[in-house]
A and B are shown apart, each in its own frame.
Chain A
Amino acid sequence: MTTHPHMALVLSRICARFADEERHDLSVLRDVTFSVRTGSFVSIIGPSGAGKSTLMRVILGMMLPTSGEVVRNFSRPAMVFQNYALFPWLSALDNVAFGLRMSSVPKQERERVAREKLKEVGLLHLENHYPAQLSGGQRQRVGLARALAIQPDFLIMDEPFSNLDTITAEELKADLLKIWRAYGITILMVNHLIPDAIELSDQIILMGAHPGHVEKVVAIDLPRPRDTRGALFFQDVDALTEEIRKIS
């Protein structure tokens, strides 16, 4: 196996196939190759059917690829889900503490950490609320706090803003950038929104569909913090939109 000291993740020629319900052999990923530098923010953009969810599962080791090599230079991955995936029977505090509980962290310590993370996402006052009592934005913040509580070194975010209204999504994006800078975690985010991807990412991976494959890897060199109303930003948005148009 090749070593990649500065890379948190290296995927080499990943292929994934499985049988659908009618037992037809489906190719979901074909020769997916890219790498994610440690501490960077990378977005994946692609149409439906690009195998993004399968790719996430392969990266997290929850599914074996049919062929290819995955090098993971991380030990504590975490994930933030599009549909929040909070445990409805647990309060916000217990949801955040869930990962620590599974690692047998003593109750007092895990509750201290969970409160700290809830405070970071601005929800300490809702620690006793159940997910059903929280708004979409609040649920997503609890999901983010749950991920941060295990001190991840690799964070996967699956379309974290797609179920949120514009104002909530903007607030969460700002918080996410703060957290990314403070923690120095590697973030891999699946996204549908080109401006969001450009605003947040160091690198954008464009994927094509049927089967999922990497069309292009685009580096975003705009200085941070990014001016989302500047001409350079809109130039990148236009260029990327054009690339995606070509793919689809």
Chain B
Amino acid sequence: MIRSVTHPQAGPWHRIHLMRHRRALILMTIVIGIAVLFGISGYFSGVAWPTLLEAVLRTTYRLALAYGIALVLGVTIALLVGWSPFIDFFFPFFDILQNIPSFALFPLFIYFFGFTDQMIILFATSSIVWPILFAVLTAIKGAHKDLNDAATIFGATGFRRVSFYLAPLALPAVLTGSIVGIAIGWEAIIGAEIIANIAGFGAFIKNVDISGIDASAVAGALAILVIVFVINRLVWAPLLLESSRRYAE
């Protein structure tokens, strides 16, 4: 009797993912280990932990809001443009807009919104939105012609095309666009907080740098690293795994 002993899902991709997963865990364990060693040696004794925690949480909160707005805005615009017959018209137009450096528009945001939370959040939104929008548009533009035809032939027309075809088609692109967008978002928010000196992680490292307390900057960087790692492991890694399983050719 012939019996298959290979699990159908234990393919090469699964193994690669497990290796990456292990590598990420090892890397994080090393980082945390170093931090613990620094802590034991008393390196972080001068760090104002409550202030640092508040600053990190403030920045993370701004990022979460900016990402939420950018996600809704980017996906909606991309789906509507991708659904319309004008995708080729809008693509270069968006390309020009996204090439404008975000910080070149920073004075405009200050002018309109002042030195406020809203200003930082909307400024970050304007940076995060582009990778999401382009990823979705590229996914729609690059969809296989047969898949488009199948959707049309089997009745995915009108607004149903958006909800039943374009939106699920673009889901992996939303994930990758989000990962890139959030990375850009951290930079935009921290950069904006440094420039505008608005309470948050950016202002915290700017102030500790001036006062010369390096341990606080290191502690802050470690705190951000842990947040990024946790978001990556708990949110993006499982979603990417599921998307690559489902969307594999």
Interface residues in chain A, defined as those with a beta carbon under 8 Å from any beta carbon in chain B = 57, 60, 62, 77-79, 81-83, 85-90, 98-99, 101-103, 130, 132-133, 146, 150
Contact = CB atoms under 8 A, between A and B. Distances in A.
Contacts of A87: 147, 150-151, 165, 168-169
B150 A79 contact: yes
A133 B7 CA distance: 12
Given A98-B154, A102-B156, A150-B154, A88 B247 contact: yes
A130 B149 contact: no
B36 to A, nearest CB: 42
Interface residues of B, number: 25
Nearest to B160: A102
Contacts of B152: 62
The 8 A-B pairs with the shortest beta carbon distances in the complex, nearest first, are A102-B155, A132-B248, A99-B154, A85-B150, A85-B146, A89-B168, A81-B146, A88-B247
B245 A83 contact: no
B149 A79 contact: yes
Interface of B: 8-9, 144, 146-147, 149-157, 160, 164-165, 168-169, 171, 245-249
Chain B binding surface SS class: helix
Contact of B247 (A79, A82, A89, A101): A89
B159 to A, nearest CB: 12
Nearest to B152: A62
Contacts of B247: 88-89, 132
A150 B153 CA distance: 11
A101 B147 contact: no
Given A99-B155, A102-B155, A132-B247, A81 B150 contact: yes
18 contacts: A77-B153, A78-B153, A81-B149, A82-B146, A85-B146, A85-B149, A87-B165, A88-B248, A89-B168, A89-B246, A98-B164, A99-B154, A102-B154, A102-B164, A132-B245, A133-B8, A146-B154, A150-B155
A214 to B, nearest CB: 23
Contacts of B165: 87
A86 B150 CA distance: 8
A60 B153 contact: yes
Contacts of A133: 8-9
Contacts of B153: 60, 62, 77-79
Given A78-B154, A102-B157, A132-B249, 10 more contacts: A82-B146, A85-B146, A87-B169, A89-B247, A102-B155, A103-B155, A132-B247, A132-B248, A150-B154, A150-B155
B155 A88 contact: no
B7 to A, nearest CB: 12
Nearest to B151: A87
A102 B151 CA distance: 10
Nearest to A86: B150
A81 to B, nearest CB: 5
A85 B249 CA distance: 10
Contacts of B169: 87, 89
